[in-house]
Structure 1
Amino acid sequence: MTDRQPPVLTQVLAKYLPEPSDRIRSTSRAIIDRTTISVHSYESIPIADWFWHSGDHSARSWRFSLHSFAPLDALMACGEWTETQALVREWADAFGTPDLEDLGDFPWHDHATALRLDRLSVLRLLSKTPKFTDLAARHADVLMQEAFYSKHTNHGYDQALALLLASYAFKADIDTSAWTEMGLSRLIDELKFAFTPDGVHVENSPAYHVGMTANLVRARLVKALAGVETEFDFDTLLNDALAFTAWIIGPDRRLAMLGDSTERSGLPPTELSSFPNYAHALYAASGGTSGAPLEGTSKIFDHAGYAVYRSRWSPWNDHVHLTMKSGFLSRYHRQDDDLTVLLQGFGEHWLIDSGLYNHNQMDPVRIYMRSELAHNVPHIRGCPVSRTLPEPDAAPTLTMERPDDGSVVFRGTTNAYRNTAVTRTVVIESAETFQIVDTVRSQNPEAQTLFQFHVPANKTVRATTKMARIVGRTKELIIRVAAGEVGDARVFSGLDGPFKSAYSPRHNALEPTQVIVFGPLKGNRIRFRANFQDLS
């Protein structure tokens, strides 16, 4: 990047390439020396005799990284244009002419194709070489096909933005006006779908919400770079997205681990520092050391299906944070987690979720992580969970009430279980006491309902038929069956046994955790009462 570039171009390129740190230089040098590739969650993958055969091609996530040209980022960040162009030429010679009758899998995967075009655009803008204009045009032609377009997904969003960026990058070489028109039209449509009216990304994950907020900042910059106008209100959407980020960050300063999430901060993009809610997101992400707190202790994002209780904003230390999720607006990154509840408080995690693990849908661990068995929800034997996008009248719901007694009530419903309706009511009486009331009505007379509470591995758990004690450092959380009847309460750990519990803090990483299982339920209603007590 040079000082002679227009400021907006410098800002755009900074969104696509890493800073040339020592680590990035080392990564770049390893590629030049043909020793290893380090990209995303993959470290030091040996380079094969032919670069594009490197790595385990049975792993879709690896093929995605490779064929999206992700390894080229380090080279371009370090200005290694000769090496970058040589690798692109090798790829183009082998794969550069797509079979238009057989698109969709690697290397011409819907998402990888868009991100590959992004990197061709960056190469054109920074190296000033028009050598790959024909290759870029073939990418644009593929992306403009309606049959290839992944409408209303994060893939479709990146496809649209790739067309818009390429229309600017290659406009001196060929007529890119059609790319501009289609890219902008699709981008605005994607944004209208991708975020709910309350400013939350629809793909079932706070981590994806923060990632898409950053993408929205990038889209705003690319739009300015391309010199196109639209009536779409980027700024209002970004400000609303920051408000959700502020609420969904827990006491540990990380995003709630719901859906396809990994451990990550919700630190807001500095480009948004003038936005009103930036200070609130910064406050939560910094643990109260910067920015400004929000007001209130509870918030619902009912369009998206999230509800949050925070016992206080200041002082930050040791406050209690409870989140509940019940929403299904997209099949992408969907997990079977309607009605799940996460709980942090007093400097510890108490009720936890599983995380992403990876995107390999055939991996037994990934299959488990997506299932209801990995979440703090009912498991109903004989009533499998559907991931078909429901009709509006059958969609999950989430509401909030504030009774006169000072409590906060979250109430969620789901019809995801086959022929079964489940209602969960969470009554937060205080920072130290809450109730969970579940009603299960199934048309299957053989259905058996069990209730799961996943807890960290570092907790001591003691369970009896009607009670479980979760012992922490200075507090214990006691969960009692206050009404209703269950057969038993048992504790399981790890991936062995009839009930499993595991946590994935980052891609392909796995840690054993514990799950308390109450059940089976006798009747159709149960009320759990949970409260914190000091350890004597």
Structure 2
Amino acid sequence: MTENDDKTAKVDLLAASDTDLRRRGLEVDQLLTALRSAPLPDLTGWFTIQEIKQSADAVLEDGWKFSRFDPVPIATLTDWAQYGAAHRSWGFHLHAWEFMDPLLRAADADDGDVWLRRVVRIAVDWVRIHRGADDEADPMAWYDMSQSLRTPRLIAIALRAARHADLREETVILAEALAWHLDELHEDRAFNPRNNHGFYTAVSQVHAGRYLRMLPDAARTAEEGEERLALMARSQFAADGVHLEHSPDYHRMLLNSFELAVQDDLILDEEIRARIQRAAYVLGWMIQPDGTILQMGDSPATQVIGKVLDSIDPHTRFLLTDGASGEPATEELAAFPEGGYAFVRSPQPSAPGELARSGYLAFSAAYHSRAHKHADDLNVVWFDQGHQILTDAGRFGYGELLDRESPLRAEGYYYAAPERQYVESTMAHNTLMVDGRNQQRQGRKPYGSALTECVQKGARFDLSARVRHSDYVHRRRVVYTPGKELRLLDAIHSSRSEAREGVVWLNLDGSFELESVGEEIVLVAETENGPLRVSVSGPGRRLDPVRGQQEPLRGWRSRKDGSLEPTWSLGFAFPLETRASVETRLRLH
């Protein structure tokens, strides 16, 4: 576009924006005066779901960097749609305007006028391209999360621009963009109450209602947002505080946003605030001894110790700060019968630096919806003696969608990457597989929580759950003696008369080396306290241990999106004729 074309486009956009504001019953000069005097919102809050570490100079000179992707030339960008077409997450984070955060911080600095003008120019260019554009032109522009997270950044830009008389025309354009962003947030397609995205739509509306009271739709927007927030709090977090999407990292992320909304007084409902308090307590149990969030469901190995230093729960704060703040917990067992998790941390750390030495066990027995759900019923993760032993496969990332006609859709897969499909599979988790098939997800009615009795008996912890599958029932007892052993007691009742085969899959950390294979499989890892040996015995026919097998994929985990690292995959196959009861034992020595 030439300079003359750019000027013409801006004049046309200004005229259209002015006309639309007047159509809405707004007198433009009065609106600008109200925007100029409105309080400025903070530049961080519920909408900063990840920290942008680039400087403002780097964003504009080198391009905005997201994950492993090439830098995006924000300063000269005209084709926004290409990034979402290449990768949905890339497009979502781009259209959420996350790149604006360091630019806005620079605009608030003492010499920020130049930065503000750069920010305003990018925002106006985006509005020019996307005003009136439909979903087909760039679906990620109007993706529910994109518009929810973009709205508070657009508000921050418009209110700052309004304070500069020479940016009057740009402010008119941005003000009208705010008005139609509120329109978009009202749409049914913008609010999905079935997953965590609905929270961001709802809180975006409440946020907008607070700072845009000069717009005639602000009161209705805030009221609808408050109603939606109440619905989301009750549907996203169980009464015991567990996030109902099978992913501790999404629990962490959504809880953080809820906590920030509470701190910003965007949530006043006491019942909601109490539920968030319980969710903060649950988060502490999801912190592993290595300082990362438990990798069940769609969870990368997010480091939180030393990164996130606050929580509204004092026990969780104690863990997040590795004992520097908060209060140590005394209970070593926590079971959440509605959420479907049970945890052991023994001994509980009571002083700085002790977290890493705790024995830790996580047991999942939940299926609330398809959201982030892997084929992993009755999965366990285990740390002991300062080392991870049983691992989870992680999430690998999302990427390209499967063709809608792919038969893999019937198995519950949405994404095309074989690595993504592997980390979702049953064999990538520490649980039971029957007849070589993944546990069913697609077309299966969610059962909620499957936890039964979870008790502590002296130094031993005994956790139980029962899951009904389409043609068999699986009961599992997890008997854990910290520092000594883990026993998995599986009882299966088949509703079919023919002979079948079960496999107990185990995935051990890749830092172990295979020492011997006999009656037991012995693996050893070097630790700062000397060698750690794990002896594994199981039922029936032993499957050959492998680490990082390529064809077919077996023995892998993903700590961060887009990458795999080897783990040990062990399997024990046993015959199943109506009923079977088997024991798998892991001893430390």
TM-score range (shorter-chain normalised) is 0.7 to 0.9
- Is residue 57 from structure 1 mapped to residue 85 from structure 2 by the alignment? yes
Which whole-Å deviations, capped at 9, do the CAs of 1:105-124 have from their partners, x for residues lacking one?
Answer: 32221221222223212223
- 2:142 alignment partner, one of 89, 108, 118: 108
How far residue 478 of structure 1 moved from its aligned partner, in angstroms, is 1.3
- Is residue 263 from structure 1 mapped to residue 315 from structure 2 by the alignment? no
Aligned counterparts, 1:125-204, within 5 A: 125-128=159-162, 129-204=171-246
How far residue 323 of structure 1 moved from its aligned partner, in angstroms, is 0.8
Letter in 1 for 2:490: D
Residues 260 and 355, structure 1, Cα contact 8 Å, conserved in 2? yes
3-state SS in 1 of match to 2:178: helix
Residues 310 and 320, structure 2, Cα contact 8 Å, conserved in 1? no
- Is residue 366 from structure 1 mapped to residue 420 from structure 2 by the alignment? yes
Which whole-Å deviations, capped at 9, do the CAs of 1:402-427 have from their partners, x for residues lacking one?
Answer: 375653211122235x4222111111
3-state SS in 2 of match to 1:314: coil
Query: Distance in 2 between the 1:82 and 1:446 partners?
Result: 72
- Is residue 117 from structure 1 mapped to residue 151 from structure 2 by the alignment? yes
- Partner residue in 1 for 2:101: 73
3-state SS in 1 of match to 2:389: strand
Which whole-Å deviations, capped at 9, do the CAs of 1:433-462 have from their partners, x for residues lacking one?
Answer: 231011223345364221111112210135
Residues 20 and 78, structure 1, Cα contact 8 Å, conserved in 2? no
- 2:286 alignment partner, one of 233, 237, 248: 248
3-state SS in 1 of match to 2:505: strand
- Partner residue in 1 for 2:584: 528
- 1:378 alignment partner, one of 413, 416, 432: 432
Moved more, 39-48 or 443-452: 39-48
- 1:491 alignment partner, one of 519, 525, 545: 545
Which whole-Å deviations, capped at 9, do the CAs of 1:1-21 have from their partners, x for residues lacking one?
Answer: xxxx99x96657455469999
3-state SS in 2 of match to 1:527: strand
How far residue 355 of structure 1 moved from its aligned partner, in angstroms, is 1.1
Structure 2: 5+ residue stretches without partners: 1-35, 108-114, 163-170, 400-414
- Partner residue in 2 for 1:286: 321
Which whole-Å deviations, capped at 9, do the CAs of 1:208-250 have from their partners, x for residues lacking one?
Answer: 11111111122224444xxxx8544344223312221222212
Say if 1:45 and 1:510 are closer, same or farther in 2 by CA, change over 3 A: farther
3-state SS in 2 of match to 1:78: helix
- Partner residue in 1 for 2:365: 326
Query: Distance in 1 between the 2:574 and 2:460 partners?
Result: 30
3-state SS in 2 of match to 1:39: coil
- 1:467 alignment partner, one of 490, 513, 520: 520
How far residue 257 of structure 1 moved from its aligned partner, in angstroms, is 1.4
Query: Distance in 2 between the 1:153 and 1:72 partners?
Result: 26
Query: Distance in 2 between the 1:236 and 1:36 partners?
Result: 42
Residues 337 and 449, structure 2, Cα contact 8 Å, conserved in 1? no
Residues 398 and 413, structure 1, Cα contact 8 Å, conserved in 2? yes
Query: Distance in 1 between the 2:296 and 2:441 partners?
Result: 16
Moved more, 285-294 or 337-346: 285-294
- Partner residue in 2 for 1:24: 54
Query: Distance in 1 between the 2:106 and 2:48 partners?
Result: 10
Query: Distance in 2 between the 1:506 and 1:243 partners?
Result: 25
Which whole-Å deviations, capped at 9, do the CAs of 1:299-326 have from their partners, x for residues lacking one?
Answer: 1011111111112013625221111111
Which whole-Å deviations, capped at 9, do the CAs of 1:260-293 have from their partners, x for residues lacking one?
Answer: 1122244596675xx5x32x11222233344321
Say if 1:150 and 1:71 are closer, same or farther in 2 by CA, change over 3 A: same
Query: Distance in 1 between the 2:236 and 2:386 partners?
Result: 34
Moved more, 45-54 or 251-260: 45-54
- Is residue 435 from structure 1 mapped to residue 487 from structure 2 by the alignment? yes
Residues 433 and 439, structure 2, Cα contact 8 Å, conserved in 1? no
Query: Distance in 2 between the 1:431 and 1:199 partners?
Result: 29
Query: Distance in 1 between the 2:146 and 2:281 partners?
Result: 31
3-state SS in 2 of match to 1:243: helix
State the identity as a percent: 21
- Partner residue in 1 for 2:476: 424
Query: Distance in 1 between the 2:51 and 2:367 partners?
Result: 40
CA RMSD for the aligned pairs? 3.1
- Is residue 353 from structure 1 mapped to residue 392 from structure 2 by the alignment? yes
3-state SS in 2 of match to 1:38: coil
- Partner residue in 2 for 1:208: 250
Say if 1:389 and 1:240 are closer, same or farther in 2 by CA, change over 3 A: farther
Say if 1:371 and 1:9 are closer, same or farther in 2 by CA, change over 3 A: farther
- Partner residue in 2 for 1:480: 537
Say if 1:388 and 1:219 are closer, same or farther in 2 by CA, change over 3 A: farther
Query: Distance in 2 between the 1:395 and 1:464 partners?
Result: 39
Which whole-Å deviations, capped at 9, do the CAs of 1:58-87 have from their partners, x for residues lacking one?
Answer: 211111112222222222222122222222
Say if 1:11 and 1:463 are closer, same or farther in 2 by CA, change over 3 A: farther
Which whole-Å deviations, capped at 9, do the CAs of 1:12-56 have from their partners, x for residues lacking one?
Answer: 7455469999x532xx223433x4221355463466763625657
- Partner residue in 2 for 1:415: 468
Aligned residues: 511
Query: Distance in 1 between the 2:73 and 2:269 partners?
Result: 49
Say if 1:19 and 1:469 are closer, same or farther in 2 by CA, change over 3 A: closer
- Partner residue in 2 for 1:85: 120
Letter in 2 for 1:264: T
How far residue 255 of structure 1 moved from its aligned partner, in angstroms, is 1.8
3-state SS in 1 of match to 2:142: coil
- Partner residue in 2 for 1:308: 343
Query: Distance in 2 between the 1:166 and 1:41 partners?
Result: 33
3-state SS in 2 of match to 1:288: coil
- 2:71 alignment partner, one of 24, 34, 44: 44
Q: TM-score, normalised by structure 2?
A: 0.79
Query: Distance in 1 between the 2:583 and 2:554 partners?
Result: 24
- Partner residue in 2 for 1:95: 130
Say if 1:500 and 1:157 are closer, same or farther in 2 by CA, change over 3 A: same
Query: Distance in 2 between the 1:122 and 1:13 partners?
Result: 10
Letter in 1 for 2:532: K
Query: Distance in 2 between the 1:384 and 1:119 partners?
Result: 43
Query: Distance in 1 between the 2:84 and 2:45 partners?
Result: 30
Which whole-Å deviations, capped at 9, do the CAs of 1:122-154 have from their partners, x for residues lacking one?
Answer: 223444345322222222222212244211311
Query: Distance in 1 between the 2:97 and 2:396 partners?
Result: 22
Structure 1: 5+ residue stretches without partners: none
Query: Distance in 1 between the 2:174 and 2:549 partners?
Result: 49
Say if 1:143 and 1:498 are closer, same or farther in 2 by CA, change over 3 A: same
Residues 307 and 410, structure 1, Cα contact 8 Å, conserved in 2? yes
Letter in 1 for 2:533: E
Bigger-Rg structure (1/2): 2
3-state SS in 1 of match to 2:563: coil
Say if 1:508 and 1:399 are closer, same or farther in 2 by CA, change over 3 A: same
Residues 184 and 190, structure 2, Cα contact 8 Å, conserved in 1? yes
